[in-house]
Structure 1
Amino acid sequence: MAQLVTLAEWAQRHGLTLTTVRTQWAYLEGFPPPVCHRDRPAGTGSGGRSREYDLPQLDDWLAHWQAEGRPNRHVMPENPEEYRTLGAIARLVGVNGKTVTQYRDLIDQRADYEDRGARRHYRTRDVVDFLNQRPGHGRASDPASDGRRGTTL
């Protein structure tokens, strides 16, 4: 027998808000359709019945969506222990400089660096490792500061 959940129950299981699920995901092609409706408890008044979804189908869809949204992994360049600017590291791995510099505050917390006059130089290995660990589309690097989620994962 299939395990059935409402979208609200499923969102809560994954630390998402129901609004995110309804407005951003439920309309996407391939999102599982409801399989039945849950009857309202007796004496609860009027209103629509809750749609129920197959839990494994929803979880499979989410895993696939997250995998598709993951950023590309970057190959470690030569001399990964060398200290370089973020712009130089971006060029080495073949991405726009903003792809790297948008994470400057997080990189500062996680990477070794040296201040060399007006420029900060980072150990290349630390920055590339950080880029490869980014969670991907729809996921904040710092879940505690992500206002899109009802709870943290």
Structure 2
Amino acid sequence: MPVSQDPLNGLYIGAHGLYTSEVIHLRRKFGQWKEDNGTKEPSNLEFYEYVEALKLTGDPYVPAGQVAFRAKIGKRYQLPHKGIIPEEFGVVARYKGQGRLAEPGFRNPRWVDGELVILDGKYIKGGPVVGFVYWAPEYHFLVFFNRLRLQG
């Protein structure tokens, strides 16, 4: 089965530090995303294309089945390519988004500002590569995700 060439659809694996990793299902959607209380975000019924990363493997903070991050995509929501990631990494696109953080046991989950970053995969082998920058008030961190290739 051929792997989709769309960097915003598919299975990805990412590393959090040296000892933990997670598998996410990145998928494009159209509509409005839901807030934690089950309501759609308040707006004037504006629909948009967005991508969300559903966690297939969890961790002590955010369990499997939860959305790890999300971002509105398309030219209207694209940020300038210059940012915190060095130019030689091959940034293809950046989009403003939200990342999910929580205390251990998924207590007090919250959304923090962030950025979805798409790289061309030339610097890091096996591209395309997707990254997400979490802009938490107390700290910032970046997680890279490589496309997961499963043999059938």
> How would you bin the TM-score normalised by the shorter chain?
under 0.3
Higher RCO, 1 or 2 (CA under 8 Å, sep at least 6)? 1
Between structures 1 and 2, the one with greater strand share? 2
Q: Structure 2-normalised TM-score?
A: 0.19
Q: Structure 1-normalised TM-score?
A: 0.18
